[in-house]
Each structure stands twice: as C-alpha cells, then as structure tokens.
Amino acid sequence: MSGVPQTPGSPPRAVVVVGASAGGIDALRRLLGLLPADLPAAVLVVVHLASGYQSALARILARGCDLQVETAADGAPLRNGVVSVATPGCHLVVHDGRLRVGPGPRENGHRPAIDPLFRSAARWYGTGVTAVVLSGTLDDGAAGSLTVAARGGVVLVQDPDEAAYSGMPEATLRAVAAAEAAPVGRLAEILKERVGRLQQPLPVAVGEAAASRLVAGTDPTGLDSGAVPAVDPPGTSPGLARLGCDGVLFEIYEQPLPGYPCRVGDARSSESLKAERSEELESALWVALRSLEERAALHRKLAADARGRGRLSMVALSEDRASEAERSAEVIRQLLHRLSLQAQD
C-alpha cells in the first residue's frame, strides 16, 4: 500500500461499504478473499438476510479471508482491516465514527437494507467512501450509491454479466452515471488502489446542518430524528397505502430516484414498490381463485342434492352458477399464469 502506514484496527482513512442480495454471497467471499489484511479501510457489509435466526455469515466470510471479519456490534468503532457484517433483522449504519446496529422500519422490504448503510457512510465520510454493489434483484443500493456519488465518493458495481442476478448492479448503473462496472477480481484491485491513495485518516463530519434529505435520507435506526418529520408530511402523497401498516406513502423527488416513505419511516424505492404491489395483486388473485373454486364446488353439490330430490329447476340454477364460477376462476388462473411469466422476465 502507498501513503502513510496504517495499523490494522486503527481509525480508518477510508470506508468501503458493500451490498449484496440474491447470488451475492459467493461474489462477496471472492471479493474479500482478494483484499489484504493490512487494508487501510473499514469494510461494512449488508447482505439481505431473513430475520429470526442466527446468521453464520461472518464465519463463512472469514474462511479464506485475511481480513478480520466480525458480526457488527452496536457502538463499535470503525477500524482498519476489519469487516463488520450486518445481522439478520437489524439495520447497520454509521454514526459519528461508530457502528450503529438496531431494529427499525424495513427499507425496500429488507432489514438490514443496503441504502441506509450507504447513505450514512456518505453523510459522515464523504469522499472517503467506496460503495460496492454485488449480485441481487430489484434496486436496493441504487439510491444509496447515488448519495455516495453526490458526496464525492466512488461507486463500483459487479459486472452484470458476471453477477448471478443482475438487477441491483443494473439499477445502480442506471442511477449513477459515474459508477464503474467490473468483474469481482478487478473490483478488488480498484479498491486496493483507491484506499491506498488516501493519505490521512478521514475527518468525521459532525453536525452537518447543510445535509439534505438526499444525504440523511430515512434513518431506520432512529438516530436521525429529522429524517421523517413527526408533523409535516415527508413529501407529497400519491394516494398509496403502505402494505402491512396501512400507513399513507409519501413521494420524495429530492433526488433522481423517487422514494416512498411512510410516517413511521418504512420506505420503498420505485422498483420495490412495484414488486410489493405485484405481490399484493397476486395474493388477492389467489384468494379470489380459491373463493370461486369453492363456490363452484358448492353449487355442484347443491345441483346433485336437488337432482336426488327431483327438483329439476334447482338443478339447472345451481349448475349455471357453478359454470359461471368455473369460467371466472379460469380467467383468474390465466392472469396468474401471465403474472408468473412476467416475474421470470
């Protein structure tokens, strides 16, 4: 490494934030395995993980990695040569030179989510931040990467052709014109070159009165109490309700990528909002299909009972209603099939 020698475990002069989702753990292992133990940077990692179980991700990533890999601990300082990994069910953000780990509203359907980590690193470490987006679906990480770039940081993206799932890399490339895409091996080389050029420890940006929502964003850990105002709406309402809490969503256009937070801070990007609505539609269609099939079965039974009692007028009426329900069920079944095909594209 060039520049001023840095002791592993000392305060960082650079911060590397990495986000991954579906298909991203293998890419993450390869990336970390190519970085040296004396990397003069703190590395913070968010991988979309389901909550409710103990994650072995830190132990998995430590295999074949010269860096020190730890599960992120609330209040721990950022340190050179240390990889801090978010835990399931908790967001990981940076605040005043330390890690903050805690619950809070999901963002883009995830907790931990990538965007809050990227935004917080950009807010506190500005030009010293390098954001890396690896394999994943939808667009978590794109808005956070935009914030990193706006604050003078660098955005790197796994080559979409190499990524197991290209959604997140492609979304980031669309959002950040200056983002650089490369295979994982090249990303590691770029990281080493970049952090080696930074000569001094990074100053922590305390009390940024000028920080806009673009920088502060929605802080799901609650450290940034002004992220979503308690009284004034955080944006204009497009007339949409948040699934789960039924809260009203607001639309924020203070950046090229619109965001949709609700009052409690649960936020969605455009892509995750569309995916959520698609899931809601599919769920409603399955309920309707089940109801129609039950209705058809009921009227077939009523027709059979009426036939046994010789009530022919009731037989005809029940069979007509059963046929009508079956036709409607077939229409919904075809819609579900089309939705399934669209989801595969």
Candidates 48, 91, 110, 299; catalytic one: 48
Taking each helix axis as running N to C, give the angle between helix 270-308 and helix 312-344, from 0 to 180 degrees, rounded to the nearest 10: 160
Cα(116)–Cα(139) distance, integer angstroms: 13
Phi, psi of 16 (to 5 degrees): -110, 125
Candidates 115, 139, 140, 219; catalytic one: 140
* Residue 48 known to be catalytic: yes
CA distances from 311 to 304, 308, 314 (A): 10, 8, 6
**In contact, 327 and 315? CB cutoff 8 Å:** no
* Residue 21 known to be catalytic: yes
Catalytic amino acids?
Answer: 21, 48, 140
